[in-house]
Amino acid sequence: MKQETVRFCVSLPQDLLEELDKRIIKKGYSSRSELVRDLIRELLVEEQWDEGQEVIGVLSIIYDHHQRELTNKMLDIQHKFYVKILCSTHIHLDHNNCLEVIVLKGKPEEIETLSINIGGLKGVKFAKLTKTASML
């Protein structure tokens, strides 16, 4: 169902408008409205995380698959927390490294704790949690 679009006016200092226009070009937006809509959505997602509502997170991990017991430790952490693992994808990047992407649903503090615990394991080279929410 398509929602009605409502126009509203925003007043900005000239230098702030110029900075906004630079970001539109840099990020490939087709209009100021598209950028503003994305900024509002980002704010709404952050508020949902701050309010402790059920949210969705995407945890991206790069790790050394030769690290002893690392895979088992990551799985143990995933089973320990009351977070729904909606799906995960495992990709072999090269002989030594794997990329794991895990889509999580649950309370923000549980998702963040799970992310920190996995990210801190020996052999994990990179871990990044991307916050999102289902209401968008």
Over its C-alpha atoms, the chain yields an Rg (Å, rounded) of: 19
Q: Could you tell me the mean pLDDT of each successive run of 10 residues in the chain, 136 residues long? A: 84 91 87 89 89 92 94 90 89 96 94 95 97 78
CATH architecture of structural domain 55-132:
2-Layer Sandwich (3.30)
Closest CA to 134 of 57, 82, 40, 36: 57
CB 61 within 8 A of CB 119: yes
Model pLDDT, residue 136: 57
Residues of the chain with CATH 1.10.1220: 14-50
Alpha carbons 71 and 73: distance in angstroms, whole number: 5
Model pLDDT, residue 25: 85
Residues of the chain with CATH 3.30.70.1150: 55-132
CATH architecture of structural domain 14-50:
Orthogonal Bundle (1.10)
Sheet strands side by side (includes 55-64): 84-92, 97-106, 55-64, 124-132
* Residue-wise pLDDT tens digits, 73-95: 999 998 887 789 999 999 999 99
pTM value > 0.85: no
φ/ψ of 127, rounded to 5, equals: -145, 125
CB 104 within 8 A of CB 83: yes
